[in-house]
Amino acid sequence: MSLDFPTAQDEYLGWLELEANRSPNTVRAYRGELNRFREFLSERRHSLQMDELTYEDLRAYQRHLAASVPRPASRARSLVAIRSWLRWLARENLIEIDLSNRITLPKLEQRLPKPLPPDELSHLLAALPTVTPLEKRDRALVHFLISTGCRISEALSLDRTDVPKQGHRLIVTGKGSKQRAVYLTGQAKVALTDYLDAREDASLALFVNFDRAGAARGERRLTADGARHIVKRVRRSVGAWAFKSPHVARHTAATSLLEVTGGDVRLVQEVLGHANLNTLQGYTKIVDARKQDAYQRYERYLEELPHEG
């Protein structure tokens, strides 16, 4: 019995969510890409049976994306979703032929991460206000992200009981429900303690919102949108213009760790929870560029020294 597209799609998304433990955002993104592919196929022909899907359908969709989606990264996201879906269907023997190997991804220009420059990082951490409970929360969140290099989703899923009373080590849950240990700097631990001591609510969440309407609905845990709003507010208030999103703190932690450890890529991989070492190539390039700049400045210093004779 032939499998139809909607059933194949639902089976895969269910596997992503329940067995692969992908985040709701990832499942939502894959659903959107598969929906767009399904709409395209519906316009090409009436049947949506998987055994009628052909290589020509895939090539036609790639041509369609090339003509309608300007950004290569956006086209790549669409094609990765379809390729992963088809590969899974073949592995589960839900389709007879693995069509995924005919999908080619557009070449992407490697974009280097943009961490905070050292002087701006120092200014940011020193200038964070600490008067009101809201300011204490903002300071604690910024220190936590820069200290641990956590993804914002990892930070916001933590409970206040996860913060160690003794020591600086805590456990976070990352992608695929994989757990790893991260460490708080002394400043981060002080900022978190100060913030938690100022709270008067009973919410278990580590980072909470102070929105009265949300609190009335019982929605105390800070959301990703709320965290992005905090970063924008902090960015404006202290003039840390390179601090454009919570993820900049992760880039900053990765780059700084590489510098202070002498380029220990595997250590940074463990701290950040990256599955692939290739993901860290951008950070190593930044560190190498900083080293080269330092040596060039050192060279100019030596050349400017007075010479005898």
Of the listed ranges 24-38, 194-208, 250-264, the one predicted with least confidence? 250-264
pLDDT at site 46? 64
Q: What angle do CA 10, 11, 16 make, to 5 degrees?
A: 95
pLDDT at site 112? 63
Instruction: Say how many C-beta atoms besides its own lie within 10 A of residue 157's C-beta.
Output: 17
Which band of pLDDT confidence, cut at 50, 70 and 90, is reported for residue 216? low
Active site residue 64: no
Which band of pLDDT confidence, cut at 50, 70 and 90, is reported for residue 305? low
Could you read off the pLDDT of 197-214 as tens digits, one per residue?
999 888 999 999 987 665
Catalytic residue from among 83, 137, 151, 221: 151
Could you read off the pLDDT of 104-121 as tens digits, one per residue?
887 766 666 688 888 899
Active site residue 59: no
CATH number of 118-246: 1.10.443.10
pLDDT at site 104? 82
Question: What does the radius of gyration of the chain's CA atoms come to, in whole angstroms?
Answer: 24
Catalytic residue from among 123, 160, 244, 247: 247
Question: What's the length of the chain?
Answer: 309
The superfamily in CATH containing domain 5-102 is Tyrosine recombinase, N-terminal domain (1.10.150.130)
Active site residue 229: no
Give yes or no for residue 295 having a pLDDT over 60. Answer: no
Alpha-carbon span 86 to 4, nearest angstrom: 13
Active site residue 307: no
Which band of pLDDT confidence, cut at 50, 70 and 90, is reported for residue 231? very high
Contact in structure between 196 and 160 (CB atoms under 8 Å): yes
Percent over 90 (pLDDT), the chain: 42
The residue type found at 296 is Q
Q: Where are the domains of the chain?
A: 5-102, 118-246
